[in-house]
A and B are shown apart, each in its own frame.
Chain A
């Protein structure tokens, strides 16, 4: 038996001509490379931009980008000029009396402290970000710390480009919820997060994408989970015209648990892709992924979910479900589950459904006097709210329901 192979780029050959978007990245690099490499990160950044120069942005011929042809979709980077006069963003969970900043240590991004790596030749998100990242959060949560409110950070994209790289270490036994938001009128943004979940820690990481529909957002979370720890990643996509959220998780310690919850609200003309690569590397670990999608108008959605179980990872229990509600005949959603199992004593399952509203639910609501359209709206909302209910923090739960309601009012 072989160890689980890394995903590799296939059918990739050097390019002869660049697209406008590719050329724009390279022009940006020439203009900024002196500043970007000032702190001695030249090698890593050169490697990243070099990969892009060699292969360009990935096309549908690259397996991991098959349903999101980035080269064809990201034609240019002609986003409006960056503006800094946007109003400040309020946190989703607000507290009246303030909280004491005890239990963590945070600093701004600095390239000499953050590794500017990427994950192989098909990792366009990692490459673009490694080349250009110039801001982000660098944070350590102290062992045993816990917090009354989520720790929130937001990227405001108002034109131009924003490339952020976050490094978060959660030490043993800490209990913390993060909220990472992308907001603003839009532009070109990338966000790469490295998250280390220490032993016995309990971490919830919420990603909320709510930029305007003119925006491109490419994001990646790379997480490792140590023994007896739990990580829940919650992704709410409610904006952006071209969005890719990658979730790469390594379950490295026994009795660790990983949960992914995703709500993709995909409106007319939007393309939203959630791609997960999950590796169970040791015995006795669990994971569950539930993705719910609503597609309105001519929206396009993608969920790729890959679960790899190493040959030593016996007693792995992994479940994956992707359910889609298409509100029109014009929208579509592509879902691709992949299981690569090298151990022989595991329970792994996946399911994908395209659902209509359940007639018995409709009848029950209507029999109480709720007219058909209103009953439909209740059920559509319930379809995704059910996922948000899993969040323990009631205030955060309500804030996310508010974002979902706002989207449904406009689009459904």
Chain B
């Protein structure tokens, strides 16, 4: 379970405050959608959860399974079961995707005190997960995300998610840059991973993604705070009327 409590955060090098008392609790099997206009702090929230150094938490706490993650390195957070699917997956020349996947899986297993995965088991797991997402082994021999199309990058993120089997998945604007077909493949990939012990925080601009990944709860983020929460009907209302009404009501 993820509990974000009165979280305040700013850009580390400046005094620009982005999150201003954000509180949100996500149950172990919940799919929560966070929507909000540009500049409301959506991407910052995802980076702060993953532990990016460019942001500094100035108040509040993030509890994951009851433990604060604020003092944990990004790698420790990942090994404890937090996963961030990037809005813009990073291209890393020279590092083959398969090498990267194997290194990540084994690092997490080591951190949890488990044995490393034997190579044949690793290959088998990758082949199965890649097949579901229509990802070729050829693509996985290429360097991480280098030369991948927008859709391929997002599918590769979901592949990592499937292989690392996290307990809380943060999807940062996973729908951006996707055409309808790619959106369907990615959403199906996410839906296959829904489970009793796996929560999702789906950050998006548009209702469109939520037609494919149907949320249990919807939250509106504005100026670094959650200003309204509801069920999936709230997303439809936003689609219809925009953010103005809700912002006005909250003010």
Contact = CB atoms under 8 A, between A and B. Distances in A.
Contact of B94 (A364, A372, A382): A382
Interface string B5-26: 0000000000000000000000
Contact of B93 (A369, A374, A382): A382
Interface in B61-84: 73-75, 77-79, 84
Contacts of B160: 368
A368 B92 contact: no
Contact of A378 (B78, B86, B103): B103
Contacts of A375: 75
B92 A370 contact: no
Interface stretch (B46-54, B216-224, B240-248): B46-54
A385 interface: yes
B143 interface: yes
Interface in A321-380: 359-361, 363-372, 374-375, 378-379
Contact of A361 (B73, B74, B92): B92
Interface residues of A, number: 24
A312 B90 CA distance: 44
Contact of A371 (B50, B75, B84, B99): B75
Interface in A249-283: none
Contact of B108 (A363, A364, A369, A384): A369
Interface in B134-190: 143-144, 160, 164
Nearest to A375: B75
B92 A383 contact: no
B49 to A, nearest CB: 10
A379 B89 CA distance: 16
A372 B103 CA distance: 12
A369 B90 contact: no
Given A360-B90, A389-B94, A369 B50 contact: no
A143 B170 CA distance: 60
B122 interface: no
B95 A381 contact: yes
A384 B77 CA distance: 30
A76 interface: no
B107 interface: yes
Contacts of B92: 361, 364-365, 379, 382
B220 to A, nearest CB: 26
A367 B86 CA distance: 10
B50 A370 contact: no
B100 interface: yes
B111 interface: yes
A363 B49 CA distance: 13
Contacts of A368: 75, 78, 100, 104, 107-108, 160, 164
B28 to A, nearest CB: 20
B75 A378 contact: no
Given A365-B100, A378-B103, A372 B90 contact: no
A370 B94 contact: no
B95 A382 contact: yes
Nearest to A387: B94
A312 to B, nearest CB: 37
A321 to B, nearest CB: 13
Given A361-B92, A382-B94, A382-B95, A366 B74 contact: yes
A368 B111 CA distance: 12
A370 B107 contact: yes
B79 to A, nearest CB: 5
Interface string B29-69: 00000000000000000000011110000000000000000
B97 to A, nearest CB: 12
A386 interface: yes
A361 B103 contact: no
A367 B75 CA distance: 5
Contacts of A360: 90
A369 B75 contact: yes
Nearest to B111: A369
B143 A367 contact: no
Contacts of B90: 360-361, 363-364
Given A360-B90, A366-B74, A371-B73, 17 more contacts: A359-B53, A363-B52, A366-B51, A366-B75, A367-B77, A367-B84, A367-B86, A368-B108, A369-B75, A369-B108, A370-B75, A371-B75, A371-B111, A381-B94, A384-B94, A386-B94, A386-B143
24 contacts: A360-B90, A363-B50, A363-B74, A364-B90, A367-B51, A367-B74, A367-B75, A367-B84, A368-B160, A369-B75, A369-B78, A369-B104, A369-B107, A369-B111, A369-B164, A370-B75, A370-B104, A370-B107, A371-B75, A374-B103, A378-B103, A379-B95, A382-B94, A384-B94
